Amino acid sequence: IIRDEFLDILKKVEEGKELLYEDIVILLKTNRKAEMDALFKTADEMRKKIVGDVVDIRGAIEFSNYCKKDCKYCGVRRSLKDLQRYRMSEDEIMEVVHSLHDIGIKTVILQSGEDMWWTKEKIGNLITRIKKETGMKITLSLGERPREEYEYFKKLGANNYLLKIETTNEEIFKFIHPDDDINHRKECSKWLKELGYLNGSGCIVGLPGQREEDIARDILYFKDMGINMIGIGPFIPAKGTPFEKYPTGSVDLTLKAVAVTRIVCKRVFIPATTALASVDPNLQADALMAGANTIMLINTPPKYRYNYQIYSDKNMVDLKSAYDAVTRAKRKFPSYLKIDMEVYNDATNAEK
């Protein structure tokens, strides 16, 4: 049964009216199956109308797990003394970049801990090389850096930057981020926007003390800030961290948040996150059917991957799993991807 007040809110969406904070809270709080399905359907239609049926595929390289910060939820936090730290060399990174370029992937995501060994100059050289050798689009995900470095990377050709707020609740932000200041994080995000990056943010669902009201404020923050890419994933406990015994965040709330984000923020990239896939590989398809339109492949070489578990049992998202999710969600791979997935499937099946 769908309540009248719930239907009224979805009707507002269909009529092109803006949702209020109170509406968003009601959408996020429902636990009725029929209401959730109606919400996902509304988000799915909005997604289709605004960004179409193609799922954007990007390749991510987690090139360093050194981090100067100690975020309490994170599996590569500074205090984890037992973790084997690694830095890929520029040549190792370029090898992966070329393999992505060869199959037609257009965007490479360079992600790392906040590792100052990777100076402005070193990152700059890497950007220059990727641009010169492949012309690919570059998404950086390096955390907080001085404005001047963001500017330098942009000048050299970086296109996008992912820097999540994680939560807009000031108390929770402070509690989970011993080294960070929420206003500074927001300022970094503003700089990125001013400098002309496609600006990524996002939040973790299921942080200690976080409520639906907080997620509603996160979504309105993404809208007000003009954020272009919004990654939303469930909290997953990471071994050896202060939060290792905390429960995994709600998958339903994560999917509702994805749907509401599509409805409220409209023309944005929303990934079906690796965190969702780590809870259950089928959830990426669910996210694609609830408003999401992007998948990030994890292309970190296998020998390093194990040490980049920002949360435990982080699942692999490879072409095969992306293909399964896209197929289940009845969506398309971008035509520029130079992969015949049927041939690819036969090949991987033959291996087994």
Interface residues toward ligand 5AD, by CB under 6 A? 73-74, 164, 166, 202, 204, 233, 235-236, 238, 275, 310-311
CB of 77 to ligand 5AD, least distance (A): 9
- For ligand 5AD, the closer of residues 311 and 323 by Cβ is 311
Residue 40: name the closest of 332, 350, 329 by CA. 329
Nearest residue to the partner ligand 5AD, using Cβ: 311
CB of 174 to ligand 5AD, least distance (A): 16
- For ligand 5AD, the closer of residues 74 and 215 by Cβ is 74
- For ligand 5AD, the closer of residues 122 and 239 by Cβ is 239
Residue 92 and residue 122: Cα distance in Å, rounded? 14
Q: 54, exposed or middle or buried, with CB in 10 Å at 0-12, 13-18, 19+? A: middle
CB of 233 to ligand 5AD, least distance (A): 5
Residue 338 and residue 331: Cα distance in Å, rounded? 17
> Amino acid identity, residue 153?
F
- For ligand 5AD, the closer of residues 23 and 114 by Cβ is 114
Chain position carrying tokens 């084997």: 84
Provide the total of helices (H) and of strands (E) in the chain, helices listed first: 15, 7
What are the b/e assignments for 311-346, b being 16+ CB within 10 Å?
beebbebebebbbbbbeebebebeeebeeebeeeee
CB of 202 to ligand 5AD, least distance (A): 6
User: Measured in Å, how far apart are the chain's first and last C-alpha atoms?
Assistant: 46
CB of 180 to ligand 5AD, least distance (A): 12
- For ligand 5AD, the closer of residues 93 and 277 by Cβ is 277
Residues in the chain: 352
CB of 23 to ligand 5AD, least distance (A): 26
CB of 250 to ligand 5AD, least distance (A): 12
Chain position carrying tokens 């202060």: 242
The residues, any chain, with a CB within 8 Å of residue 216's CB and separated by 6 or more, are 21, 24, 25, 28, 260
- For ligand 5AD, the closer of residues 162 and 288 by Cβ is 162
- For ligand 5AD, the closer of residues 30 and 321 by Cβ is 321
